[in-house]
Amino acid sequence: MKPFRILLLAALAVSLSGGARKPQLAVHFHVESVGAAGGHFTVPAKFVNPPREGHIEAVPFASERNIAAIFPVENADGTIGCAFKLDQSGKFALETLSKDRRGASIFITMATKTGHHQVIDMVIDKPILDGIIFVPKGITPGELTMLQQLYPIMGQPKKKK
């Protein structure tokens, strides 16, 4: 009986460890680090706003898991933007770093099965207390479709399942 229990436990452990599914859309919100001061915990990055080379923290302060709702925006020039409302954990992280790291940049990346790209980088000019990050441009039509499938739209009633 004991070997059966061990075999059952081993099978359960293997099934649970492989059961984690990768998200179909990854959204990462990183913050600019102070040079390469973090060593292995920083990654080189090319910033666009203003143009320069620098480093970001390797671990994002928020990700797709922290997105509570979105609000897509289609601009007159054809570019697509989106407001991301973060959950309580993401909101707290954003509020803290926007107070402590004023002048640094938030670096946003998106990844799908077809590729990975930098959406935008924006300088933190004031504390962000509402937990909303507005990305004015840089989102592709395919990413927007995925976002709309995965998250509720701010201001719209929740869909019944």
In the chain, the domains with their CATH numbers are 21-150 (3.30.1360.200)
What local confidence, expressed as pLDDT, does residue 112 receive?
A: 87
Q: Indicate the pairing of strand 26-31 with strand 62-63.
A: antiparallel
pLDDT of residue 14: 45
pLDDT tens string 5-33: 444 344 444 444 444 555 689 999 999 98
Which residues, in sequence order, are bridge partners of residue 44?
55
The pLDDT tens digits of the residues spanning 45-82 come to: 899 888 889 899 999 999 999 999 999 999 999 899 99
41 touches 58 (CB < 8 A): yes
Three-state secondary structure readout of 113-145 = CCEEEEEEEEECCCCCCCCEEEEEEEECHHHHH
112 or 86, greater pLDDT? 86
**Looking at residues 99-122, what average pLDDT do you find?**
90
Q: Residue 85: how many CB atoms within 10 A of its CB?
A: 19
pLDDT at 148: 93
Q: Is the pLDDT of residue 122 over 60?
A: yes
- Whether the CB-CB separation of 119 and 147 falls below 8 Å is answered with no
What are 79-96's pLDDT values in tens digits? Answer: 999 999 999 999 999 999
Task: List the alpha helices (DSSP H) in 2-154.
Answer: 2-17, 88-100, 141-150
Residue 120: closest CA among 133, 103, 102: 133
Q: What is the pLDDT of residue 159?
A: 65
Q: Report residue 40's pLDDT band, with 50, 70 and 90 as the boundaries.
A: confident
